[in-house]
Amino acid sequence: MWQVLVKPQKKLFSLFFLVTIIHAIVTTAYTLVIAFLTAYMTRKINMSFGQVVTIILLCTAFIALVNVIGGYLKGKVTNGAICHLRRQIFERLMLTVDFGDRRKVGEKVALLTSKLDVVEQSYVNNFLLGLSLLMQFVLGILLGVIVDVRLTLIVISLDVPAILLPLITQRQLKRAKLPVLNNLDRYTSAITNWFSGLTTIKNFGREHVFINMHASISTDVKVSENHDILVRKIVSGISQFCGDLVYFGTWVVGGYFILNHSLTLAAFMTFTQLSVQISFPLETAADVFSDFFGGQRAYQQLRLVIEAVPQNNERLAQLPEQDDVFIDYVHAMIGGADKDTRPLLKDVNLQINQSDKVIIIGDSGSGKSTLINALFGYRPLLAGSIFVDGRSPIVGRSADIAKMIGYQNQQTFIFDGTVRDNLTMFSDQYTDQELINALNRAELQTADGHAHANAWLSMILHTQGGPLSGGERQRIGLARNLLTHKRFMIFDELSSGLDHKTAETIEKRLFRLNIGFIYITHSYNRALLKAADKVFEVHDKRVTAVSLD
């Protein structure tokens, strides 16, 4: 809790803590107000009715003011903690998840949405509420000792079951909350995945299949939530029983003392109010603990993400640009998934200079993309070596390699934003003229004239749909990479999904670029292959040089 609540906002939390103490004092002071009114009604205090009304109005106004300030500071502390958590999680996901990893996107989104909501509502809020209740309980006990030690000891003894209840039921509460969290995670991941493929679902007429699947997983959520509510309400009922035992027990014992003339009625009336201040935190504790334990588990899952070991921090050496071997595969054996030791590619040997224009051909699924993923460290190297600019990508970070090598996959991702945003990746370090120059290099001509060019750069684009054709979206991606002045480029199936004429135009334009690149394709167009400096074919888990003589 120190890491999430206190450390990022020490001054604010200290102020909140001080106001919480004042709030607990004010809440406990209700007892003193009852004592004052009892003394007035028994004429032990000589005051006019108007004076009493004035005092009560001032007290209630002060209590309301403290409640407003306390509630505001509680919300501010909570928001600050969640904002800090959100930034930590997003930063860690950005730094530890490579751009080739598109699996479990829904789970990653859930960390920043539903999972964080659970942490806020159940973990942070209930901790702050529990802190306030604890202070009320302690102050209530202290004031009770001042009013009447005997009754206070009796109330404490009656409170023992309520104090022990959260500790006894902790395991049951956690066990009931766990299926709820797991089912909510599964639900979020599933619907995120389904909505991502909604077009495919409609194309195949499978809407009702997915409606039935949704009904099943939403029922699982409902059943687990109902069980959690049942457990919580049983514990809450026991807690209510303990609270009522304290309250009515106070009346029974107090009545006994009054009948034996060892306690005045005024003192007893004061103490009954005080017993409420003592028992209320204990009655509330069951629900607070239940939600807190559920939120604590969600928070622990977020901490695993935040504390995940990032990729190796050793940076690649920035060697002078040269036309020596830039990419070098030496007897490389490349695997698939991290724990899969079966090789997808065997004994790969190829050398590529920085200025080379290289084509890698092969059928779909032959391993072309695997070859490139290994270059960035996204596929395990089972044997041999891979060097980029003289350094192995296994030693350096994929982010460092990405600073030297630009990568454009089959479908250029377009963010919701302007053309300018998509070119600059939301950076403000480029001028409009630099953007126009990059577009011209990608041979995506903007309208003539500065005003028209500015309007074109300000045009709104969307991830799904939008005013650009497939070819224009690919050229936006090309201009985006050219803008960063990478030393080398990789184009993965750049013409995929485009009509033949557009694909041919883009491929011809690539070879007019004054930069070395690897172009991955499944097309065996002889004219295209002859334009390359080197051609390699991926087939049967091997990479071989192709001669076009």
User: 392 pLDDT band (50/70/90 cuts)?
Assistant: low
- The CA-based angle 338-344-347, given to 5 degrees, is 115
Do residues 181 and 330 share a domain? no
The CATH number of the domain where 164 resides is what? 1.20.1560.10
Higher per-residue pLDDT: 317 or 306: 306
Do residues 99 and 187 share a domain? yes
Quick one: which H or E segment has residue 246? Answer: helix 207-259
Q: Is residue 311 assigned to a domain?
A: no
| Range name among 55-59, 72-76, 300-304, 400-404 with the lowest pLDDT average | 400-404
Q: Alpha carbon 28 to chain centroid distance?
A: 39
Query: What pLDDT was estimated at residue 322?
Result: 43
> Nearest CA to 282 among 142, 67, 134?
134
Do residues 134 and 45 share a domain? yes
- The CA-based angle 539-545-549, given to 5 degrees, is 120
Pairing of strands 542-545, 534-539: antiparallel
Query: What pLDDT was estimated at residue 199?
Result: 64
Q: Is residue 317 assigned to a domain?
A: no
Cα–Cα distance between 106 and 99 in angstroms, integer? 15
Q: Is residue 407 assigned to a domain?
A: yes
Q: Is the model's pLDDT at 521 over the cut of 60? A: yes
Do residues 73 and 220 share a domain? yes
> Nearest CA to 137 among 243, 241, 41?
243
What is the pLDDT averaged over residues 139-159?
80
Cα–Cα distance between 192 and 117 in angstroms, integer? 17
Q: How far is CA 474 from CA 304, 402, 465, in A?
A: 37, 19, 14
Task: Name, of 42-56, 170-184, 273-287, 333-347, the range with top average pLDDT.
Answer: 42-56
What DSSP line would sit under 475-530, residue for residue? HHHHHHHHHTT-SEEEEESTTTTS-HHHHHHHHHHHTTSSS-EEEEES---HHHHH
User: 100 pLDDT band (50/70/90 cuts)?
Assistant: very low
Q: Per-residue pLDDT tens for 271-280?
A: 777 777 777 7
Do residues 477 and 538 share a domain? yes
Strand ranges for 378-492 from DSSP E = 381-388, 405-408, 417-418, 460-461, 488-492
Which two three-digit tokens encode residue 133? Answer: 């209740």
Cα–Cα distance between 236 and 265 in angstroms, integer? 32
Q: Is residue 344 assigned to a domain?
A: yes
Q: Per-residue pLDDT tens for 108-124?
A: 777 888 788 888 888 89
Quick one: which H or E segment has residue 542? Answer: strand 542-545
Q: Which amino acid is present at 83?
A: C
Pairing of strands 381-388, 325-335: antiparallel
Do residues 242 and 357 share a domain? no
Q: Is residue 312 assigned to a domain?
A: no
Torsion, Cα of 23, 25, 30, 34 (10° steps): -160
Which two three-digit tokens encode residue 549? Answer: 């003589």
The CATH number of the domain where 489 resides is what? 3.40.50.300
What is the pLDDT averaged over residues 74-101?
78
Do residues 290 and 424 share a domain? no
Do residues 379 and 460 share a domain? yes
Going by C-beta distance under 8 Å and a sequence separation of 6 or more, which residues neighbour residue 162?
A: 239, 242, 243, 246, 279, 282, 283, 285
Q: Is residue 188 assigned to a domain?
A: yes
Task: Find out whether 125 and 16 touch, Cβ atoms under 8 Å.
Answer: no
Name the CA radius of gyration of the chain, rounded: 34
Cα–Cα distance between 184 and 322 in angstroms, integer? 53
Do residues 367 and 450 share a domain? yes
What is the arrangement of strands in the sheet containing 381-388, beginning at the earlier edge strand?
343-353, 325-335, 381-388
Cα–Cα distance between 324 and 354 in angstroms, integer? 7
Q: Is 444 helix (H, G, I), strand (E, B) or coil?
A: coil
Q: Is residue 375 assigned to a domain?
A: yes
Q: Is the model's pLDDT at 357 over the cut of 90? A: yes
Which two three-digit tokens encode residue 175? Answer: 């066990």
Q: Per-residue pLDDT tens for 186-238?
A: 887 788 778 766 766 776 677 888 888 889 989 999 999 899 889 888 888 88
> Could you give the maximum distance between any two Cα atoms of the chain, in Å?
118
Q: Is 355 helix (H, G, I), strand (E, B) or coil?
A: coil
> Nearest CA to 13 among 144, 158, 128, 115?
128
Do residues 430 and 499 share a domain? yes
Residue 491 gets the label, from left (phi > 0), alpha (psi -120 to 50) or beta, of beta
Q: Is the model's pLDDT at 337 over the cut of 60? A: yes
Sign of CA dihedral 342, 345, 347, 351: negative
Q: Is the model's pLDDT at 33 over the cut of 80? A: yes
Q: How far is CA 452 from CA 293, 428, 446, 456, 459, in A?
A: 59, 20, 8, 6, 11
Q: Is the model's pLDDT at 102 over the cut of 90? A: no
Question: Which residue segment(s) compose the domain that 523 sits in?
Answer: 325-545
Do residues 535 and 423 share a domain? yes
Average pLDDT value over all residues in the chain: 81
Task: Find out whether 379 and 339 touch, Cβ atoms under 8 Å.
Answer: no
Query: What pLDDT was estimated at residue 232?
Result: 81
Residue that is last in its domain, among 306, 333, 350: 306
Determine how many CB atoms are found less than 10 A away from the CB of residue 108. 18
Give me the number of domains the chain comprises.
Answer: 2
Do residues 272 and 398 share a domain? no
Q: Is residue 99 assigned to a domain?
A: yes
